[in-house]
Structure 1
Amino acid sequence: MQLTRRRAVVLAAATATTLALGACGSSGTDAAAPASGGGTDVTLMLNWYPYGEHAPFYLGVEQGIFAKHGINLTIKAGQGSTKTVQAVGGDQVDFGWADTPAVLSNVDKGVKVKSLGVFLQTTPSAVQVFADSGISSPADLKGRTIAVSAGDAPTTTFPIYLEKAGLAPNDVKQQNLDAAGKIAAVISGRVDGLIGFAHDQGPTIAAKSGKEMRYLRYSDVGLNFYSNGLIASDATIGSRGELAKAMVAATSESFAAAEKNPDAAVAAMAGKDPQMPKKDVLLDQWKQTTQLLHTKNTEGQAPGVDADADWDATIEVLASAGLLGSAKERSTYYDSSFQPAGE
């Protein structure tokens, strides 16, 4: 995610991490070419290097879900959602997995992409603190110092969070740091917490520090906007619509399978990238991700089924936060014709 991501050691993530059917890849190298099973070779660029949120893609490859839909999938690591959006818009890869604020802001700047469907429908944005910090509610943030990353979605929407939580902007001190610096500052105690994605950074900090984390989630005060989902270029949507539909369907099925069997989903990631967190962190990250897959408008639906009301709310929030020049029609950013079948 431009807009949030996140993690300290990213140099290895600059190279592609690939996964072929039945093959192990590592950053910068392919262990094997995608298996040839009569399907279409497809590349997917993630928003970052692999972490727990991405487990469904690896499970879907391992269990033959993508192959069943006619797709020989190769997964590539990303370097933030903005770069993924730009790579998809330039048709350097077939599909991308990117944060919705980054998608919308890049569309506003002329990048020719659209969302095919958002899977993380409740924002993972949260103020993250140690459980023993004495911070248990938004009111406890008054006078505290929180690490932020200027320009990302959680930081840009932080003033809205504070307002909804009954705090003024100057009630909380903000220290601008990069992703690695934020984590280090929290662990060392130089700041009281950080703003970021609770399902990613939180489990990482807990594992590094050996301390329990607490999350003051934006959604808990009524602030929600869409997060990560599938994107494709306008060219792909126009000329390869059936492939796009198959990709959404396979992804939805893979997410449902990973929800039912978290251990198998995380196990499918084993050995795929040296920068991945340890298994227990991956499992924690994925289990937290499953809490983000729906809103009240989409409960009971298949993963990736979006609600128009949630799209409109997302656009309104991002426009009010200044991430968009203006609130445009959802069809500017999202093509609803690829929705997976409901459950």
Structure 2
Amino acid sequence: MLNWTPTADHAPLYYAKAQGWYKDAGIELNIEAGKGSALSAQRVGSGGAQFGISDFPTALQAVGKGAELKAVMAIYANSPQGFYWLKSSGIEGPKEFPSHKIGNPPGDASRLMWPAFAKKIGIDPASVRFVNLSPQAKVGALKSKSVDIISDFYNEHDLKVREFGDDLGFIAWRDAGLNMYGNSLFVNSAYLASKPDTVKTFASITQRAYEACVKDFEPCLKALTADVSGLSPDNQRDQWGRIKDLMRDQTTTTVALGAFDGERVQADYDLVKELIGLDKDFDPATMFTNDYLDKNVRMPAAQ
């Protein structure tokens, strides 16, 4: 189960499936569109799906509620979260968000993590009003001024720059001191315990697929658009350029593509616990593993 509807960051899954990599390994893969990281974490955590993609801090909250999840690959080593607004609205930065409307879907990870962002910036989390929007309606809502601010992943940054030009205001969460792990590949813990070899196979194929798409995105784009209608190839290419930046950090370039750093996982756990709260404490070291990744596959350094 994906975190959202399919876009460039999911292209490697479609590419590996089109190439027959999963099928050749004995895995019949069905890719289901998602409706937010909270839902995908819940589905995988309850066993409704064996694997899923979810925002890491959102998954931390889910595990605190009892979801049975383990991360086996970091897709975004850097937080993709960001807020956008129009400078012409009078908003100069996030300190001026209070009394304004933020548009995003109810299951959006940024809405769930909003208290952490607000407290980090130094504003009251209750000082804004959220408006429910579909992902596709965000830009239109900002343009029509039915909302004042939208949240979105950095992937879509180029589209907004083209749409709004110099009037566009933006802050990345990582620039506000909240560089948490983003989308990650999770497996149901019971499934992992019963079929560790299948999990290793699935994780290694997926890792290899992301490596292939980093080297050459065009075959991956072709596989994605052949299976998913309504996507602009140019927009997806722009997205993939940003996604590669989000995938790259010290760990993914020196340990393995998709590898987690234990200290960063601990820091994410501490932040969620302090600024949002967890229903139940747990050891964050049990939340992830790098054991199913090929250590010879690494994210290339920036060129």
Q: What range is the shorter-chain TM-score in?
A: 0.7 to 0.9
SS of alignment partner, residue 71 of structure 1: coil
Please name the residue that 2:4 is paired with: 48
Alignment equivalent of 1:79, drawn from 35, 38, 45: 35
3-state SS, counterpart of residue 225 of structure 2? coil
- Seen in structure 2, the aligned counterparts of structure 1 residues 148 and 104 have a Cα distance that, compared at 3 Å, is same
1:341 equivalenced with 2:295 (yes/no): yes
One of 187, 191, 204 as aligned partner of 1:232: 187
What are the within-5 Å matches in structure 2 for residues 93-108 of structure 1?
93-108=49-64
1:97 match: secondary structure: strand
8 A Cα contact 1:297 1:310, kept in partner:
no
Pairing partner for 2:215 from 226, 242, 260: 260
Moved more, 129-138 or 181-190: 129-138
Give the counterpart letter for 1:47 in structure 2: N
Structure 1 residue matching 2:238: 3-state secondary structure: helix
Equivalent residue for 1:311, pick from 265, 268, 276:
265
Aligned position for 2:252? 298
Percent of residue pairs bearing the same amino acid type: 25
- 1:114 equivalent in structure 2: 70
Letter in 2 for 1:233: N
State the Cα distance separating 1:135 from its structure 2 match: 6.4
Deviations 1:243-263 (A, max 9, x none): 101111111111111111122
Matching residue within 269, 274, 278 for 1:324: 278
Residue type of the alignment partner of 2:291: S
* Partner residue in 1 for 2:202: 247
Equivalents in 1 of 2:62, 2:214: separation in Å? 31
Question: C-alpha deviations, 1:11-68, integer Å up to 9, x for none?
Answer: xxxxxxxxxxxxxxxxxxxxxxxxxxxxxxxxxx211221121011112223344356
Q: Superposition pairs for residues 105-254 of structure 1, below 5 Å? A: 105-130=61-86, 141=96, 145=100, 147-149=102-104, 152-158=108-114, 160-161=116-117, 164=120, 167-169=122-124, 174-180=128-134, 182-200=138-156, 202=157, 209=163, 211=165, 215-254=170-209
Taking the aligned partners of 2:4 and 2:74, their CA distance within structure 1 comes to 17
Q: Could you say what secondary structure the match of 1:338 adopts?
A: coil
Amino acid corresponding to residue 104 of structure 1 in structure 2: L
Q: Is residue 71–residue 186 contact of structure 2 (8 Å, CA) maintained in 1?
A: yes
Secondary structure of the 1:271 match is: helix
More helix by share: 2
Q: Secondary structure at the match of 1:117?
A: strand
CA contact (8 A) 1:98 1:228 kept: yes
SS at match of 1:215: strand
The alignment covers a number of residue pairs equal to 293
Which residue of 2 is the match for residue 66 of structure 1? 22
CA distance in 1, matches of 2:218, 2:285: 37
Return 5+ residue gaps in structure 2 as ranges.
299-303
Q: Which residue identity lines up with residue 242 of structure 2 in the other structure?
A: Q
Cα offset, 1:124, TM superposition: 0.8
Q: Work out whether residues 128 and 215 of structure 1, in 8 Å CA contact, stay in contact via their aligned partners in 2.
A: yes
**Contact conserved, 2:265 with 2:285, CA < 8 A, in 1?**
no
CA distance in 2 between partners of 1:95 and 1:159 (Å): 28
Cα distance, 1:126 vs structure 2: 0.8
Q: Distance in 2 between matches of 1:89 and 1:176?
A: 27
Does the CA contact (< 8 Å) of 2:64 and 2:282 recur in 1? no
User: Residue 72 of structure 1: CA displacement?
Assistant: 3.9
Tell me how far apart the structure 1 counterparts of residues 43 and 150 of structure 2 sit (CA, whole Å). Answer: 29
Preserved contact between residue 120 and residue 226 of structure 1 (Cα < 8 Å): yes
Measured after TM superposition, the shift of residue 240 of structure 1 is 0.5
1:231 CA displacement: 1.4
Cα distance 1:131–1:121, how it changes in 2: closer, same or farther (>3 A)? farther
Task: Choose between structure 1 and 2 for higher RCO, CA contacts under 8 A separated by at least 6 residues.
Answer: 2
Contact 1:315 1:328 in 2 (8 A): no
Give the superposition deviation at 1:186. 0.7
CA drift of 1:318 comes to 1.4
Q: CA deviation at 1:83?
A: 2.6
